C-alpha cells in the first residue's frame, strides 16, 4: 500500500513539474496611444513621435509600430513599458519614420498598428498582441512656387522679378508667380490656389487666383500676375507681402516679399 502511495506521489510530482503556468497578456484596451494629426507632402519621409501608455497590471515589451497603411513604415523604436503604478499608467514616447503615399491615395482609413509582447501561453511562449489606432492624415501635392516677385505691371509678368519694391500711395503693386509640380502625381487644374496678402492691412489687403493648368510630373503653370491696390491714405513705410500656395486650407509653399510705400 505504501509503495502504491509513493508511486502516486512520484507520478504526480513528475506531472506537476511539467506544467507551465499561463500569464494573461495586457489587453489592447489598456494600451493607450496618442498620435497627433499628420500633414506631409507626397512621397516625402516624415519623422514623428507617438505617446504610448500602459494601463495594465503587467509590463508590455518590444512595443513598436508594425504597419501604417497606406503610408510606408520606414522605422520604429521598440521600447519596453512597465506596468501601471499607483500613480497611474506608465508612459513612453516612440519615434517613427514614415513615407507618404501619392496625394490622391485614399487616406480616410489610415490605421497605425502597434505590436507588443505580453504574458505567456500554456507552452511558456510569449504572447504577441496588437493595438490599432486610427490617425488623421493629410497628404499634399509636392509643389513649389517659382518666379515670385514684383514687376512693373501685368504686361511685364514674363520679365525678371525682384523681391523688393517701392511704390506710391494709391498705385497698384504687381506680383508674379508660377507653380511647379515637384512630385510624381499629376495635379489637376483648379486644385491649387495662390493668395497674395499684405501684412499691414492699413496699406492694402489681398488678392487670390486659382491655378487653371493641370501639371504632370515636372510640369509648371503659366507665369501669372496679381495686382494689389495700395490705399490712397496708406501710411508710408515698410511691410511684408506673403505669397502662399494652398490646397484647400493647407499651405504647400510660401514666399515673402518686401514692399515700401513712399511718403
- CATH at residue 167: 2.60.40.10
Could you tell me if 215 and 191 are in contact, meaning their C-beta atoms sit under 8 angstroms apart?
Answer: no
Residues whose CB falls within 8 Å of the CB of residue 188, separated by 6 or more in sequence, listed in order: 214
Is residue 122 in some structural domain?
yes
Peptide bond into 70 cis (omega under 30): yes
Query: For residue 15, what pLDDT is reported?
Result: 46
Is residue 11 in some structural domain?
no
Q: Are strands 126-134 and 111-120 parallel, antiparallel or unpaired?
A: antiparallel
Same domain, 29 and 109: yes
Q: How many domains does the chain have?
A: 2
Q: Last residue of some domain: 140, 167, 196? A: 140
Is residue 8 in some structural domain?
no
Same domain, 41 and 135: yes
Give pTM, 2 decimals. 0.85
pLDDT per position in the chain (263 positions), as tens? 555 555 554 555 444 445 557 889 999 999 999 999 999 999 999 999 999 999 999 999 999 999 999 999 999 999 999 999 999 999 999 999 999 999 999 999 999 999 999 999 989 899 999 999 999 999 999 999 999 999 999 999 999 999 999 999 999 999 999 999 999 999 999 999 999 999 999 999 899 999 999 999 999 999 999 999 999 999 999 999 999 999 999 999 999 999 999 99
Q: Which domain holds residue 206?
A: 143-261
Query: For residue 260, what pLDDT is reported?
Result: 98
Per-residue b or e along 73-111, where b marks 16 or more CB atoms closer than 10 Å to that residue's CB: beebbeeebebbeeeebbeeebebebebbebeeebeebe
Is residue 97 in some structural domain?
yes
Cell of 172: 497698384
Amino acid at each position: 500500500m505504501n509503495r502504491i502511495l509513493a508511486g502516486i506521489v512520484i507520478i504526480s510530482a513528475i506531472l506537476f513539474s511539467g506544467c507551465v503556468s499561463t500569464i494573461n497578456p495586457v489587453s489592447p484596451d489598456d494600451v493607450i496611444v496618442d498620435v497627433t494629426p499628420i500633414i506631409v507632402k507626397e512621397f516625402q519621409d516624415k519623422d514623428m513621435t507617438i505617446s504610448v501608455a500602459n494601463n495594465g497590471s503587467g509590463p508590455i515589451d518590444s512595443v513598436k509600430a508594425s504597419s501604417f497603411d497606406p503610408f510606408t513604415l520606414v522605422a520604429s523604436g521598440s521600447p519596453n513599458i512597465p506596468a501601471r503604478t499607483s500613480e497611474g499608467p506608465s508612459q513612453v514616447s516612440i519615434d517613427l519614420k514614415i513615407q507618404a503615399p501619392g496625394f490622391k491615395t485614399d487616406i480616410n482609413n489610415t490605421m497605425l498598428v502597434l505590436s507588443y509582447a505580453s504574458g505567456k501561453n500554456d507552452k511558456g511562449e510569449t504572447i504577441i498582441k496588437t493595438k490599432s489606432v486610427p490617425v488623421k492624415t493629410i497628404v499634399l501635392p509636392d509643389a513649389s512656387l517659382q518666379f515670385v516677385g514684383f514687376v512693373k505691371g501685368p504686361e511685364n509678368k514674363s520679365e525678371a522679378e525682384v523681391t523688393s519694391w517701392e511704390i506710391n500711395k494709391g498705385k497698384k503693386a504687381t506680383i508674379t508667380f508660377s507653380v511647379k509640380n515637384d512630385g510624381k502625381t499629376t495635379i489637376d487644374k483648379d486644385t491649387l490656389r495662390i493668395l497674395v496678402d499684405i501684412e499691414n492691412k492699413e496699406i492694402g489687403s489681398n488678392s487670390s487666383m486659382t491655378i487653371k493648368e493641370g501639371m504632370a510630373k515636372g510640369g509648371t503653370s503659366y507665369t501669372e500676375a496679381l495686382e494689389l491696390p495700395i490705399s490712397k491714405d496708406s501710411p508710408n513705410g515698410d511691410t511684408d507681402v506673403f505669397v502662399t500656395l494652398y490646397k484647400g486650407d493647407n499651405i504647400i509653399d510660401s514666399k515673402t516679399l518686401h514692399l515700401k510705400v513712399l511718403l
